[in-house]
Every structure is written in structure tokens, then in C-alpha cells.
Amino acid sequence: MTTNPSAGPRAGSSAGPSPGSRAADGAPVPVVEVRAAFEDAAGYALLAPSVFNTQPWRWRIGPGPALTLRADPSRQVDSVDADRRLLLVSCGAALHHARLALAVSGYRTEVVRFPDGAAEPDLLARITVTGRQEPDPEQRRQHGAGLRRRTDRRAFGDRPVAVQTLHRLREVVEAEGAFLHLVRDDQMPMLAVATAHAATSELDDPAYRSDLHRWTNRPPGSRDGVPAASAVRPGVRRVPIREHALGGTPGLEVGDAMDRGAAYAILFGRGDAPDELLAGGEALSALLLSAVADGLATAPLSDPIELEWPRWLMRNLLADVGEPYVVVRLGFAADPTPLPPVLRRHPDDVIEYAD
């Protein structure tokens, strides 16, 4: 069992044993109030990013004042994620969203990650409320950004991201127990080659094409996946973007900017144990929300991490000091046209109750 994998206690978590759900003055926080806050947190967590927008998680409220997060293996994309790396990163992002929502609602929490260890690998985290707190300004900024965040697959403009902004985003990631490598100009060709190789290899795989079709051609009424309206037409890019509309018509133009001002960052950890990958997802969520709060457009790129050879190249970019989890493109949107609404599952589909 681990409460804080990697570096130190993370925001929204208590470093000590839970004293129970009590307010700052020691009075108990009513269970009914806590459960309503858990419902809101699990609903807000639906805004978290996930590979192919699979939203591969489930929440359970109760018994008592506890909220538990479970992986949903039925939503695992086997062709590119047989070892559950991306599934755990996606669930970690949902966990951070839930922690953030509770903090902004004024609750102090304790988070126990993998409370049953290897005995129940799909049980990822248990959150309990330990009292009330005053949210800090950064938590409020991130929370507001979650309502605006979109994965923008269009080309970003020529305006560069300030070095100070990138360094602050690195600090945000490190506060969540992961690390951020800013890809240098001399490393960009290797990133582009790794991403292009991954795209070619995956499209040659019938299993991948089947998974891609499954998650880009959802049944009517589905609130998940990546519809053609959110896909972008092919174009000249510094780093290729995954094609999400095979046989269909993408709804977005790539634009003329070619990502000249974009910054690329590799989010990584010390290893790829389940608790490290979960922490990586929490860090990814914090990174994206902080970047959006700073006025940046964002786009996670998992392609160069999905296959072994491109992932090996990403390790080389890190000088073999860690395990890459995801690449993130950061920049300023060249096209002010609003992106299509984000498809998210209904809370009733992901929340269950245990009394």
C-alpha cells in the first residue's frame, strides 16, 4: 500500500492518518454533505483527459464517507496499451480532477493509492474527507481551467511559450511526483521521427485499426471517443498528429501555422510501476489545467509512447533517467474558432453507491 508514491505529499492529500470527517473546529462533517461533494467531484472528473477519450474509470461512493476510484478494463485499448500504462495515466488524471474539485469545495482529504495493493489491481485509490479547508488561488485557477480545457489538434501559432511559463509548469508537475523534460530544438527531429514511425506501424496493425474505428465511430448517443468533428485534416506539422478520421471527413482545418511556436514536453517518472503511472496521470492533469489557466492551448500525444521502439527513442531523449508517460504539445492557438463540445459520459454511467 502506498499513500504518496514518488516525491512527498501531494496537493489535496493528508500526510498523516485520517482523523475522520471533521471540520476545522473539530465538528464532524455530515456524511450527507460529504457524499454530495463526492458526487460533484466524480462528475467533475469526467472532464479529465484519457487516451481516445475512453474515460476508463468508475467511482464508488461509500460505504461511509469514502470515494473509491477503479479502473474499467473494458475500456482498455489493447492494441496500444496491453500493459495498462495509458489506462493508469488516464485514471490518474481523473483522480487529480476529483481531488481538485473537493479542495475547491472546501474539503481537506486523505488519498490512499492502491489501498489493497496487488490483491485488487483495479482498485486504484480511496479518498476520505478529513475536514474543511480554504482553497488556495492556484487550485481555483486550475479548477476553472478544467471547464475550458480542450485537446486542440490544430496547428499552434508562431508565438513562443515563455521560458518562465514552462519552468513554472515543470514545478507543477514535480509537485505531483513526476517530472517534465522540455524537448530541445536539436531533439525535435527524433521526436518527429518517433511519432511518424509509431503512426505508420500502428496503421499497419489490423488490431489498431479496429480499436481506432471503435473509438472514433461510436454508437449513437455515446458520450465518449473522438468524433470526426474533433479530428483535424492532415497538414505540415513539426510533429505529426494522429489521424482520427480514417475513411471519414475531419471537422477541423489544420491551419497554416505549422506549430512553429509550440513547445513539446515529455512527462515522465522514475519507472513504470502502477503507482508511478497513476502519479504520472495526476501530474498530467495538473500540467494541462495550469497551462490552460495560463492561456495556453494543449494537446497530449501518446503515439510515441505506445510502441516499444518509439518509446525507446523517448527514453533516449530523457538520457535514460526515467520512463516516458506522455508527450504534451503546448502553445497558443492560431485559430480563435471555438472547438467542438467535449463528449463526456453521464455521471450515472460511472458512479455507483455502496451503503
Residues 188, 277, single domain; the answer is yes
How many other CB atoms are there within 10 angstroms of residue 341's CB atom?
A: 9
Residues 190, 103, single domain; the answer is no
CB-based burial, 100-137: b 16+ in 10 Å, e otherwise: bbbbbbebbbbbbbbbeeeeeeebbbbbbbbbbbebee
Residues 135, 175, single domain; the answer is no
Question: How far apart are the C-alpha atoms of 302 and 79, rounded to whole Å?
Answer: 13
**CATH number where 88 lies:** 3.40.109.10
Question: How far apart are the C-alpha atoms of 268 and 326, rounded to whole Å?
Answer: 7
Domain limits for position 97: 31-147
For the chain, list residues with pLDDT below 50.
1-9, 11-20
Question: How far apart are the C-alpha atoms of 154 and 240, rounded to whole Å?
Answer: 11
Domain count for the chain, please give it.
2
pLDDT at 166: 98
- Kindly report, residue by residue over 79-92, the tens digit of the pLDDT: 999 999 999 999 99
- Kindly report, residue by residue over 124-158, the tens digit of the pLDDT: 999 999 999 999 999 999 999 999 999 999 999 99
Question: How far apart are the C-alpha atoms of 268 and 318, rounded to whole Å?
Answer: 9
Residues 80, 171, single domain; the answer is no
CB 111 within 8 A of CB 127: yes
pLDDT at 31: 82
pLDDT at 198: 96
pLDDT at 16: 35
pLDDT at 22: 54
Distance between start and end Cα atoms, the chain: 24
In a domain, 346, yes or no: no
Residues 85, 213, single domain; the answer is no
Which cell is 81 given?
A: 496499451
pLDDT at 2: 34
- Kindly report, residue by residue over 6-33, the tens digit of the pLDDT: 333 464 443 333 334 555 555 677 788 9
Alpha carbon 326 to its chain centroid, in Å, reads 9
Residues 317, 234, single domain; the answer is yes
Question: How far apart are the C-alpha atoms of 57 and 351, rounded to whole Å?
Answer: 9
Average pLDDT for the chain: 91
